[in-house]
Structure formats: structure tokens, C-alpha cells
Structure 1
Amino acid sequence: MITSPATNAPPEVGATLQRMRLARGLTLEDLSRIAGVSKSMLSQIEREKANPTIAITWRLANALGVQIGELLSSEPREVEAIRVLDAHETPTLPGNHAGYVLRILGPMELAGKYEWYELTLAPGGELASQAHDPGTNEHLTVLHGSVEIEVGTSKRKLKTGGTARYGADQNHVLRNTGKTEAKALLVVVHR
């Protein structure tokens, strides 16, 4: 069987990536931060100046909350009445070096406005964040274990079932000082 040269061409991911990014209201900078791919690389991919590696395509698909095949397809996908993400499809920011795993539960189109995460902290693990934009607040509910919250010079310990609300527009740290794993829901509200 003879195939045409177009059949053997790599998929043009750029237009699909841009369509999905814009449909979610994300800037190149937003997607860069979420996916861990440089803004310049994203720009090159969208302009069809570069083809992403499988690893980058996988990170972009996870960040956008889609299957990798959807990103490689030029066919627009029919919108589902109920969109379900299996656990392995949930974008995750591994901070294993610092003893945390942050699963992105909120949809990407709300990133930069409202974000929610499942935070898992190993014993001794911590998630240290620089100040977010002025007026940003975080709401942390501990599902099990305990978490120490440090905001500026203030520290508070939170146990299972407790919720802390604090300004995240200054440096802050979420730390597991216990001997067992801690898990929490973290909601970030940007102003």
C-alpha cells in the first residue's frame, strides 16, 4: 500500500493546543506554569515551529485535563454532558523532593481565578509558596493527619477536620510536623 506524504506527517498539535488553551481562558504563562513547559516552547508549538516530545505532550494533556490523543487530534471533540477524569488523568505536581504531592482537582479554565487541590504531605514534608497576587486567599481543610500553617511570622497547627483561612499574598508554608502522612483540600481564591 502506498501512502501519501501527508499521511506520514506528524500531527500539527499547535492549532489544537491553542484552541484548547483559549477555550479554558488560559494565557501562555498560565499553561506554562501548570504544565511545567516553558512559555517560549509553548509559543513555538502553537505556531507550528516545533513539535513537542511525547513527554511534553503528556504534560500538556494532563495540564489541560484531556487525553493525549485529543491533543494530537485535529478534530474538535464533542462536549460531554458529564466529564469524568480517572485518577491517572488528574494533573499532578509532584514535589517529592520536598515531601508533597499536589493533585490539581479544579478545571484548568478556572486557573488564576479559583483553584482547588488535594495536598498530600509526607512526614516532615512541606509546600512552601511565595506570595501570590495581592488579595489572594487560601482555604485549607485537613482530611487526615495534621498540618502546620505558617503565614509570615504566624504559625497555627490544624488537625483532622479543621479548616484554616489565610491571606496567601505573603510567603506561606504548609508543613507536616507529624509522624504520619497528612492529606488536605486546598482552595485558592484569586482577586
Structure 2
Amino acid sequence: MTELSAPQIGPIIQRQRKARGLTLQQLSGLSGVSKSMLSQIERGQANPTFAVLWSLTQGLKIDFAALLQGGQAVPSDTTIEIVPSEHTPEIRSADGSCRLRILSPPSLAGTTEWYDVEIAGGGRLDSAPHAAGACEHFTALSGQFLITSGASTYPVKAGETARYPVDVPHSISNASHRPARGLMVLLYGKIGQGRAA
């Protein structure tokens, strides 16, 4: 994801807030971001996280991607939202062998999430247990993987989908020597249980 420094983001947020006639307190109420944090962001004294920026764009009703280009409002008749590749958030494992591109909108975090997963040859993505009832659906797009959920491990080759509980320790390993990709969907709670059945 493209990173912006605090001085770049602050003036945009302030300009958009004032254009809507909102006080810091009002924007705080709309976005859930504290008034003190808002003040620090606008003055360039705090570098907001992705989650904070998302909350602010929702409160101001501006497109997240557009925020990076100066904070243009989303036209009311727009029905198709396009997220440029360079604005798609990414998570990398500590050793750099695993890359997850977050494809789902932040508004669904904690409910339904989906990721483009790429793991280097021999790499492994280890995860701690998620909430009770959570499950993952992993479709191998290339290569061959080993999926571990609790005490069970199964191979998954390109074109196959594995569905497994993730309220236990779990992992996705690249069983080949070349980079491999897959699509992972994480479903939480009863939704996850129902889809996994």
C-alpha cells in the first residue's frame, strides 16, 4: 500500500472536514476516531494507521483511494468501486516468505475477509487460532500446498479448495520449490460453521 506521511494526510482531512462544516467533535462522532487523535493528524503530528484512515473516509464519505489523490468525494451515482492495485493493502510475514493482499473491504473485517496469498517455495504461513467457529476456505491457484488445522494436515493442489476450522492453530505451507498462489476466504463465527459444513 502506498504510504503517506502525516503532513500530506493532515491537510486533506482538515480540508474535507471544513468543507462539510464539521467540527473536530462532530467528525470524531461520525468516524469513531478520538478528537485528540484527529487534531494530531490534522496538524501532522500523528501518522494514522490504515484502520484510522478508513474510519475517517467513512465519516467524511469520501473514497479511500481518492483520499490518496487529494480527497475527492465519491460521485453519488457511482455503483462500481475500483481499488487500484497499488492501493490494495498488503501483509507480509516476518521472514518475507508470505504475502497476503487484502482484497475484502475493511468494513467486513471480523466477519468475512478474503486474501490473495503468495508463498515462496518452502515457505509457511502460521496462524494463531481465530474466534470460535471461524473457518477458512483456501483455493490453490498454482503450485501445491499443505494445509494444517489442529492435528490434521492435507495436501491441496492447483484447482482444489480446502475448507477447515481455524479456531485452532493452523498453517498454509508451500510444498513446492517455486512461489505458489492461492485465494483464502476467512469466515467468522456461525457464518463460518455454516459454510464449512
Residue 48 of structure 1, aligned match among 39, 62, 72: 39
Deviation, structure 1 residue 67: 2.4
Deviation, structure 1 residue 94: 1.9
2:172 corresponds in structure 1 to: 174
Q: Is the 8 A contact 1:13 1:48 kept in 2?
A: no
Give the TM-score normalised by the residue count of structure 2: 0.67
Map Cα deviations across residues 48-84 of structure 1 (whole Å, 9 max, x no partner). Answer: 24558699458455897722635964x7543422111
Q: Is the 8 A contact 2:12 2:67 kept in 1?
A: no
> How far, CA to CA, are the matches of 2:34 and 2:186 in structure 1?
27
2:139 corresponds in structure 1 to: 141
Call closer, same or farther: CA 1:94–1:181 in 2, change over 3 Å.
same
In structure 1, list runs of 5 or more residues that go unmatched. 1-9, 29-41
Aligned length, in residue pairs: 162
In structure 2, list runs of 5 or more residues that go unmatched. 1-9, 18-25, 58-62, 190-197
Call closer, same or farther: CA 1:93–1:55 in 2, change over 3 Å.
farther
> How far, CA to CA, are the matches of 1:137 and 1:185 in structure 2?
14
**Counterparts of 1:1-191 in structure 2 under 5 Å?**
10-11=10-11, 13=13, 43=34, 46-51=37-42, 56-57=47-48, 59=50, 66-67=64-65, 69=67, 73=71, 76-79=73-76, 80-95=78-93, 97-191=95-189
Aligned amino acid, residue 110 of structure 1: L
Aligned amino acid, residue 84 of structure 1: I
Aligned amino acid, residue 148 of structure 1: L
What secondary structure is seen at the aligned counterpart in 2 of 1:85?
coil
Map Cα deviations across residues 5-57 of structure 1 (whole Å, 9 max, x no partner). Answer: xxxxx5273896x96xx78xxxx7xxxxxxxxxxxxx6476442455869945
> How far, CA to CA, are the matches of 1:55 and 1:106 in structure 2?
26
> How far, CA to CA, are the matches of 1:102 and 1:51 in structure 2?
31
Q: Is the 8 A contact 2:100 2:117 kept in 1?
A: yes
Call closer, same or farther: CA 1:90–1:52 in 2, change over 3 Å.
farther
Q: Is the 8 A contact 1:122 1:181 kept in 2?
A: yes
What is the root-mean-square deviation of aligned Cα atoms in Å? 3.5
